[in-house]
């Protein structure tokens, strides 16, 4: 068997299925082909060379998948039939089809995907005036435990593989229902992207590959983090995507109540990492601030936030909290939100109020829910 050195995917083996037939218990070992979207150009090129073929075939195959959206190896007509057959024996296309889709009154669409191992993730397609933005997940569940977030309730189930991250973007592109193009990607769905750093970076490599990949501009991609400070600095060196930091409080005490990660990486460490990011990137950092009634919405906190961020090239997105069942928090009154915003503006801190889309289908910020679906449901597909 030819190995693909260095690939990051988790095991492709499925558990055995037991069938009870004619009073005999039969055990069937399932095998599953690995999705070709799991592999980088170098890895695919290595696979071809190990099979005695020319490495440039990898470029051809990638262009069929990522540029021409081929649905099968059979469509790759400029590749010899024998090569297509070898590909078909070794790989699946990695196409991800939503198991469930919900549409909000504002047109926002939420897709649920069932993944290997029985976990479920969600991504959200947001229609803008002249383009689409997709919000994708990078983990099933999340270990960060933010107290305002629905995803946190499930804990971390597992990291998504590169192919599972890319697959959400490919599905969104396929599911755009009109001629507005999908141009923007935000890594703000389930999970903490910097806690799945290698797989996220591998996926971004394909997504932004202008030659053989999906050709997205790095400046149209925003990665949102809770503030894993050392990884922010690594990201700044290794990628050109935009950075968003989920800040949500101007002091460590309030922030620790909302985001336990603050005890490991206090605000001072995060801002040091942000300054390092500023030195390497001209784009402003977005600081997300979910406004929660009587927790972080006081005028003094607005003034403190403006002072804190004054040395950073950034802007603040104020997101009025989206309540979900069982949440202890509430959205501030409209006047409080306006007042907080005005204080930031008067303090020369660039700020916008962002009303989330898709609230009626639980697709708004912090409302995506992860879960482990019944294994039987996956096996039956």
Q: Which residues are catalytic?
A: 122, 365
Q: Which residue has the tokens 């569940």?
A: 141
Q: Is 258 in the site for ligand SF4 (CB under 6 A)?
A: no
Give whichever of 94 and 193 is closer to ligand SF4, judged by the CB atom: 193
Give whichever of 87 and 285 is closer to ligand SF4, judged by the CB atom: 285
Residue 175 CB, shortest distance to ligand SF4, in Å, is: 23
Helix (H, G, I), strand (E, B) or coil at 284: coil
- Tell me the window of 33-41, 73-81, 147-155, 303-311 that interacts with ligand SF4 (CB under 6 A): 147-155
Q: Is 187 in the site for ligand SF4 (CB under 6 A)?
A: no
Q: Which of 44, 119, 149, 165 binds ligand SF4 (CB under 6 A)?
A: 149
Q: How far apart are the first and last CA of the chain?
A: 28
Q: Is 190 in the site for ligand SF4 (CB under 6 A)?
A: yes
Specify the pairing of strand 242-246 against strand 285-291.
Answer: parallel
Give whichever of 34 and 222 is closer to ligand SF4, judged by the CB atom: 222
Binding to ligand SF4 (CB under 6 A) within 103-142 occurs at 142
Number of residues lying near ligand SF4 (CB under 6 A): 12
Helix (H, G, I), strand (E, B) or coil at 318: strand
Q: Is 146 in the site for ligand SF4 (CB under 6 A)?
A: yes
Q: Which of 46, 191, 213, 332 binds ligand SF4 (CB under 6 A)?
A: 191
**Contact 262/250 with Cβ under 8 angstroms?**
no
Q: Which of 96, 226, 235, 241 binds ligand SF4 (CB under 6 A)?
A: 226
Measured over the CA atoms of residue 300, residue 301, residue 302 and residue 303, the dihedral's sign is positive
Give whichever of 152 and 267 is closer to ligand SF4, judged by the CB atom: 152
Cα-only R_g, the chain: 22
d(CA 233, CA 167): 27
Residue 147 CB, shortest distance to ligand SF4, in Å, is: 9
Specify the pairing of strand 91-92 against strand 100-103.
Answer: unpaired
Whole-number Cα distances in Å, 371 to 114, 224, 258 = 10, 22, 22
Whole-number Cα distances in Å, 71 to 68, 116, 128, 165 = 9, 20, 27, 18
Write out the residues near ligand SF4 by the rule CB under 6 A. Answer: 142, 144-146, 149, 151-152, 190-192, 226, 366
């Amino acid at each position: 068997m030819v190995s693909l050195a260095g690939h990051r995917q988790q095991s492709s083996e499925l558990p055995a299925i037991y069938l009870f037939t004619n009073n005999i218990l039969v055990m069937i070992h399932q095998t599953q082909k690995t999705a070709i979207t799991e592999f980088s150009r170098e890895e695919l090129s290595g696979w071809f060379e190990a099979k005695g073929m020319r490495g440039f075939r990898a470029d051809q195959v990638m262009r069929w998948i990522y540029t021409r959206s081929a649905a099968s190896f059979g469509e790759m007509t400029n590749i010899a039939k024998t090569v297509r057959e070898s590909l078909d024996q070794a790989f699946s296309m990695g196409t991800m089809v939503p198991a469930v889709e919900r549409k909000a009154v504002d047109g926002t669409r939420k897709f649920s995907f069932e993944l290997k191992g029985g976990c479920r993730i969600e991504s959200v397609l947001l229609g803008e005036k002249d383009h689409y933005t997709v919000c994708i997940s990078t983990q099933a569940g999340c270990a960060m435990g933010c107290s305002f977030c629905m995803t946190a309730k499930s804990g971390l189930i597992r990291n998504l593989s590169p192919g599972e991250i890319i697959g959400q973007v490919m599905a969104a592109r396929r599911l755009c229902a009109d001629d507005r193009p999908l141009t923007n990607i935000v890594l703000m769905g389930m999970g903490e992207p910097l806690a799945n750093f290698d797989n996220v970076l591998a996926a971004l490599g394909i997504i932004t590959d202008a030659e053989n990949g999906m050709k997205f501009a790095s400046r149209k991609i925003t990665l949102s983090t809770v503030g894993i400070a050392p990884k922010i600095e690594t990201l700044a060196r290794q990628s050109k995507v935009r950075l968003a930091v989920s800040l949500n409080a101007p002091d460590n005490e309030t922030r620790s109540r909302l985001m336990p990660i603050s005890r490991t990486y206090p605000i001072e460490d995060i801002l040091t990492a942000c300054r390092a990011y500023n030195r390497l990137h001209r784009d402003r950092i977005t600081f997300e601030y979910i406004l929660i009634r009587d927790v972080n919405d006081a005028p003094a906190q607005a003034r403190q936030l403006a002072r804190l961020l004054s040395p950073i090239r950034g802007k603040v997105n104020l997101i009025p909290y989206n309540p979900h069942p069982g949440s202890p928090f509430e959205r501030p009154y409209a006047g409080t939100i306006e007042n907080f915003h005005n204080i930031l503006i008067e303090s020369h801190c660039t700020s916008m109020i962002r009303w989330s889309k898709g609230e009626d289908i639980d697709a708004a910020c912090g409302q995506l829910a992860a879960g482990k679906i019944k294994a039987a449901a996956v096996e039956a597909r």
